[in-house]
A and B are shown apart, each in its own frame.
Chain A
Amino acid sequence: MTDVLYFYVSLFCSQRTLVQGLPEMVSRLLGTLAGWYLVPAGLALVLFVYWFTGATAIDRAANQRVVLRGLLAALIAWILALAVKVAWLQVLSGPQWKEIVSEWACWQGPPSACPAAAVGFALSTALWRRDWRLGLGCSLAVCLWSVAQVFYGVHYSLDVVVGAAIGVGLAWWLGSMAWLDHRLGALVEVARRWMLA
């Protein structure tokens, strides 16, 4: 268990030390990129515009179902990422772990699934299933966001991998559920009554 945890926290640890000597401005820029505004607002904007896009009403309704599916996947992925964090906190709550990890140079807190990667990849995957070019663009933005979080010291690199696996897996799984289309279609129909879909 100790070996696994050590591997988890020390993978790509040396990469993080590379950026420690960067000028403050660059470091703050990295912080901005790693933060919860720039990339999330960009992703939200893509979803917002995608909601109103479509050559025909049928196309538009399909896009709207994708947007709802993406939001649902992102919400569940966020909850799962938090659950992973709670689980790690439970596992590492004993005093013996504090002694062990205190000697590790790369230790920066208990591991967790990166919520940014989980949420971002959930949205990107949902879009990818409908329009791979758009999904690819969003995935690249999420990669940038996640890498910035790793280099900024918010998460371990394997946190991002776990978060991405949760996001992609969940969105793909939800995307293959045909019955969900009917439920989401009902929501779109409600929005149509209000002339917003």
Chain B
Amino acid sequence: MVKLIIAVFVYVVLTFLAALGGLEIAALRAGLAGLAWPIGPRYRRLGYVLGGLLIAMTFIGGLLAGLLIEPLYPLLSVPVIFLAMGLSLVVAITGAALRLRRNPQCPASTLPQGKQVDLGPMQAFFYQPAGDGPAPGLCLLPDPTALRDDLGALIQALVKDGIAVLLLDWQSLGDVDRLTLQGLVAVGISHLARWPEIDPGRVGLLGVGVGGDLALRSAAMDQGVAAVLAIEPVLSAQRPWQGLEALSTLSWFEARRRVQRWRRSGVVKELDGLTAIPSIAPRLTAVIVGCMGDSEVMEDFQVLRDGGGCFLVPAARRGAVKRATAWFKEHLA
């Protein structure tokens, strides 16, 4: 009995190491930072070598174990292999999460110093571009379900291209419903249009994630919006689930948390950004989507695709920032 327990333990450890090696190679090849452990995508080659070594070691160990200890019974080998592989998956997910916490995939950009503005119960920050004359203005709507999204790079790029930005700060609010959010967006737009250095005929809306849905719905209601762009909006509560692709930039735990927030948020269902789009025409409307864009439901408006990334962290994508800036520069500036 003791011999059998030792044999099971040895085979579990060996299979665990092989599975960890295999997972490391597969995760690096697919660019899944949230699954790559112990070495992340930054040292890809080293990860391949380590993964290969773990697999080779396991098979040499397996041969030696076969010579030295009890063999596994057929019915025992299946649970041993499944248990070891499950363990390796759990360890890889947890290890990658800890690694990503220490070294995030997208380093945080510094948010430029903006002018604080009070919009009733909510605060906002105004970022003015350099130069004279009336400038185009944008009301930037962050994702209300992902308040810690890093929008620094996006704001910097827009301001650099001569577009003023009014960032609505949902964090200054408590738990609010869809109508309150829409009301606050309307307040933001009118405030921006009345700002002395802003051209009221060139005020646009830019939303990120669920903020994109809010932008589309608000633009449909407010004729003062000249152009609207949504970066990776949810569009519909029926949107397919994001799978492993989410782990390209996020840890498994963070990705789960974000998706759960989207799914549980009643705002997504109520906004239903997709149905708002026809009401915006003939004003300019565009949506930026990554590789997982749902192309068949996006026919009546401009779809700007960018190469890859994760729809859960849209604003951190360099491609999305470039696309958004270029689009507004072309249509508003």
Q: Report A's interface with B, CB cutoff 8 A.
A: 25, 28-29, 31-33, 35-38, 40-42, 44-45, 48-49, 51-54, 56-57, 60, 115-116, 189, 191-197
Query: B65: nearest residue on chain A (CB-CB)?
Result: A37
In the docked arrangement, what's the CA distance between A60 and B245, Å?
Answer: 10
- Closest Cβ of chain B: how far from A32's Cβ, in Å? 3
Total chain B interface residues with beta-carbon distance under 8 A: 48
Q: Which residues of A contact B18 (CB under 8 A)?
A: 41, 45
Q: Are A37 and B77 in contact (CB under 8 A)?
A: yes
Q: Which of B55-114 contact A (CB under 8 A)?
A: 55, 58-59, 62-63, 65-67, 71-74, 76-78, 80-82, 85, 89
Stretch in B29-37, B142-150, B200-208 touching the partner: B29-37
Q: How far is the CB of A54 from chain B (nearest CB, A)?
A: 7
Chain B at the A interface: mostly helix, strand, loop or mixed? helix
Contact B23 A48 (CB under 8 A): yes
A179 to chain B, nearest CB (A): 21
Question: Interface residues, chain B, CB within 8 Å of chain A?
Answer: 11, 14-15, 18-19, 22-23, 25-27, 29-30, 32, 35, 55, 58-59, 62-63, 65-67, 71-74, 76-78, 80-82, 85, 89, 240-247, 252, 255-256, 259, 291-292
Query: Is A41 within 8 A of B15, CB to CB?
Result: yes
Distance in angstroms between the alpha carbons of A37 and B27 in the assembled complex: 25
Interface pair B27/A36, CB less than 8 Å apart? no
Main secondary structure of the interface of A (DSSP, over half): helix
Tell me whether A37 and B72 are in contact in the complex, defined as CB-CB below 8 angstroms, given that A49-B26, A195-B252 are known contacts: yes
Known: A191-B243, A197-B244. A48 touches B19 (CB 8 A): yes
Which residue of A32, A45, A53, A196 is within 8 Å of B71 (Cβ)? Answer: A32
Pick 24 A–B contacts, CB within 8 A, sort by A. Answer: A28-B66, A28-B67, A31-B71, A32-B67, A35-B71, A37-B65, A38-B63, A38-B66, A41-B11, A41-B14, A41-B15, A44-B85, A45-B15, A49-B25, A52-B27, A52-B244, A57-B244, A57-B245, A57-B291, A60-B244, A192-B240, A192-B243, A192-B244, A195-B246
Q: Does A115 contact B74, Cβ atoms closer than 8 Å?
A: yes
| Residues of chain A lying within 8 A (CB to CB) of residue B73 | 36
